[in-house]
Amino acid sequence: MTFLFITHKRRKERKESNFLLIGGHHFKISYAQLLKATDGFSLANLIGEESFGSVYKGVLNHGETIVAVKVLNIRQRGASKSFTVECESLRNIRHRNLIRILTSCSSIDFEGNDFMALVYEFMPGGSLESWLHPHVDGIQDEQRHLNLVQRLNIAIDMATALDYLHHHCHTQIIHCDLKPSNILLDGDLTAHLGDFGISRILSKVTNRSQNYTSSIGVKGSIGYIAPEYGAGADVSTHGDVYSYGILLLEMFTGKHPTHEMFKDNVNLHYWAKMALHDDRVMIVVDPSLLLMEEDEEGAATTVTNIIESRRCVVQECINSIIRIGVDCSIESPGDRMNINDVVKELHLIKDIYLGVGTHQGR
Domain edge (last residue) among 121, 153, 188:
121
Catalytic residue at 177? yes
331 assigned to some structural domain: yes
Last residue of a domain, one of 82, 104, 121: 121
Shared domain check, 180 and 303? yes
Residue 305's contacts (CB-CB under 8 Å, 6 or more residues apart) are: none
Q: Which of 157, 163, 177, 195 is catalytic?
A: 177
Does any domain span residue 329?
yes
**pLDDT tens digit sequence for 292-334:** 776 665 554 444 565 677 888 999 999 999 999 999 999 999 9
Residues 78 and 175 in one domain: no
CA distances from residue 330 to 18, 169, 225, 228, 288 in whole angstroms, order as listed? 44, 26, 12, 11, 27
The tally of domains found in the chain comes to 2
343 pLDDT tier (thresholds 50, 70, 90):
very high
Q: Is the same domain home to 217 and 339?
A: yes
Has residue 360 been placed in a domain? no
Cα torsion 121, 23, 159, 314: sign: positive
* CATH number of the domain within which 33 lies: 3.30.200.20
CA of residue 69 relative to chain centroid, distance: 17
Taking CA atoms, 120 is separated from 20, 31, 66, 90, 114, in Å, by 10, 15, 9, 11, 20
pLDDT of 139 over the 80 cut: no
Q: State the pTM of this model.
A: 0.84
Quick check: is 361 in a domain?
Answer: no
Of 121, 147, 171, at which residue does a domain stop? 121
Are 236 and 265 found together in one domain? yes
29 pLDDT higher than 50: yes
Instruction: Measure the CA dihedral 25/199/338/210, to 10°.
Output: 90
Pick the most confident of 142-151, 176-185, 286-295: 176-185
Q: Phi and psi for 273 in degrees, rounded to 5?
A: -60, -45
**DSSP 8-state secondary structure symbol assigned to residue 13:** T
Domain match, 103 and 147 both: no
85: pLDDT confidence band, cut at 50, 70 and 90? confident
Which region, left, alpha or beta, applies to residue 254 given φ > 0 means left and ψ of -120 to 50 means alpha? Answer: left
Same domain for 117 and 152, yes or no, is: no
Domain span at 106: 19-121
Rounded CA gap, 78 and 213, in Å?
A: 10
